[in-house]
């Protein structure tokens, strides 16, 4: 009955736990994750200091590389997958990300808007002396 | 009678997936514990996002003090990143060793994780001490306040993680690989990996983006 139950209903898996149990495969997963993360880190640090690429593209590239590396960490180290047994973990993560983007994006948006419409006192003085 | 049978079926199979089962009962404790800790980690990440937001807002408020590009040393940051990444890897190996109940590999991997974490902390402490010594402490400007709060909060988390690591080793030494100890080990590994994820955001946003002239 229990085998049939496992077959029919994949159930849940704790975050950080994996489905397969062979030690070799599990270690291999961490090695692949480490390799990818090192590669992305090295690219980030290289891009930040290089003059080879168009300069305004550098911040975008660093952010994209950072998000990619967080994805690598989530998949290979925390074992958050798209499988049905991981649905609860992914939903919690999605909600957390929503809050993070609201907080960071909202703060940056509002404060830059305020800076434009209500310049700080020293900036007003500068404008007055220039005019 | 037929009515109650239909209701019973609807309850057992609410989404009509065609695989009605009798009540499966609560999830195993390992899943409940892991999920609860995952929620805590996400709330921790939300807390860090507030510090990231204040750093992004205060980035230019240097009050004629130093800008990021004048005080950040990319070489030591790269070294910190490598140390923390490798410690995340060895922490994963320690988790596998605990699952297969291999004491030797568990102790070895935890020892390496601890040493790498301490190396990370010592580099960070030296950086902070150097900045404060040059008069660029957290009270110098709003930018430096945000910087010390964000990076220091991560450093505090790593310090707490190392204390937790030592207690995990002691617990395995004293009590062996019991089910409750393994659950705590799973939570510790999650915590350590999450710290590495936050560090990815720190070195990208604070050090790499912040050191743009």
ipTM of the complex: 0.84
Question: From CA B78, how far away is CA B108, in angstroms rounded?
Answer: 25
Structure token digits, residue A41: 């880190």
Locate the chain B residue with the closest alpha carbon to A60: B209
Contact A16 B190 (CB under 8 A): yes
Residues of A in contact with B57 (CB under 8 A): 107-108, 111
- CA separation for the pair A18, B162 (Å, rounded): 25
Picking from A61, A49, A77, A71, the residue whose alpha carbon sits closest to that of residue B91 is A77
Q: How far apart are CA B198 and CA B54, in angstroms?
A: 16
**Which residue bears the tokens 């709060």?**
B149
Flag whether the pTM goes above 0.90: no
Kindly report, residue by residue over B55-107, the tens digit of the pLDDT: 999 988 888 889 888 889 889 999 999 999 999 999 999 999 999 999 999 99
CB A8 within 8 A of CB B171: no
CA–CA distance, B166 with B155 (Å, rounded to integer)? 17
Average pLDDT rounded to a whole number, residues B139-166: 96
- Residues of B (171-210) whose Cβ lies below 8 Å from A: 186, 189-190, 193-194, 196-197, 200-201, 203-205, 208-209
Cα three-residue angle B69-B55-B188, rounded to 5 degrees: 105
Q: Which candidate from A12, A103, A106 shows the least CB-CB separation from B31?
A: A12
Q: Does A4 have pLDDT greater than 50?
A: no
Q: Which residues does A98 contact at the CB level (< 8 Å), separation at least 6? A: none
Chain A partners within 8 Å of B56 (Cβ): 104, 107-108
With contacts defined as CB-CB under 8 Å, which chain A residues touch B78? 41, 45
Q: What b/e string do you get for B117-129 counting C-beta neighbours within 10 Å, with b at 16 or more?
A: bebbbebbeebbe
Q: Which residue in chain A is spatially nearest to B18 when comparing CA positions?
A: A8
Q: Strand, helix or coil at B137?
A: coil
B40 has a chain A CB within 8 A of its CB? no
* Among chain A residues, CA nearest to B85: A34
- Give, for B101, the enclosing helix (H) or strand (E): none
- Residue A16 is predicted with a pLDDT of 79
Residue A36, min C-alpha distance to chain B (Å): 11
Q: pLDDT tens digits, residue range A25-57? A: 899 999 999 999 999 999 999 998 888 888 888
């Amino acid at each position: 009955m229990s085998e049939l139950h496992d077959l029919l209903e994949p159930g849940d898996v704790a975050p950080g736990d994996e489905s397969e149990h062979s030690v070799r495969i599990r270690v291999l997963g961490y090695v692949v994750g480490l390799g990818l993360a090192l590669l992305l880190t090295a690219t980030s640090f290289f891009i930040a200091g290089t003059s080879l690429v168009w300069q305004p593209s550098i911040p975008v590239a660093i952010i994209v590389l950072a998000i990619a590396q967080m994805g690598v960490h989530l998949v290979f180290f925390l074992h958050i997958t798209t499988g049905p047994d991981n649905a609860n973990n992914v939903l919690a993560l999605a909600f957390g990300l929503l809050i993070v983007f609201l907080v960071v994006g909202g703060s940056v948006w509002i404060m830059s808007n305020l800076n434009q419409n209500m310049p700080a006192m020293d900036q007003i003085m500068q404008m007055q002396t220039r005019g | 009678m037929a009515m109650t049978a239909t209701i019973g079926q609807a309850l057992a199979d609410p989404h009509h997936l065609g695989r009605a089962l009798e009540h499966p009962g609560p999830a195993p404790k390992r899943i409940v514990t892991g999920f609860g800790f995952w929620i805590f980690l996400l709330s921790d990440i939300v807390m860090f996002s507030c510090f990231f937001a204040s750093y992004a807002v205060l980035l230019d408020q240097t009050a004629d003090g130093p800008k990021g590009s004048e005080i950040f040393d990319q070489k030591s940051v790269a070294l910190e990143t490598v140390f923390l990444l490798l410690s995340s890897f060895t922490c994963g190996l320690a988790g596998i060793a605990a699952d297969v109940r291999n004491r030797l590999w568990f102790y070895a991997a935890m020892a390496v994780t601890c040493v790498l974490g301490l190396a990370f902390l010592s580099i960070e402490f030296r950086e902070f001490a150097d900045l404060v010594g040059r008069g660029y402490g957290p009270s110098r400007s709003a930018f430096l306040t945000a910087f010390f709060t964000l990076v220091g909060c991560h450093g505090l988390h790593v310090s707490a993680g190392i204390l937790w690591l030592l207690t995990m080793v002691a617990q395995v030494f004293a009590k062996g690989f019991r089910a409750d100890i393994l659950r705590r080990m799973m939570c510790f590994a999650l915590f350590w990996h999450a710290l590495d994820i936050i560090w990815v955001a720190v070195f990208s946003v604070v050090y790499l983006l912040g050191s743009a002239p």
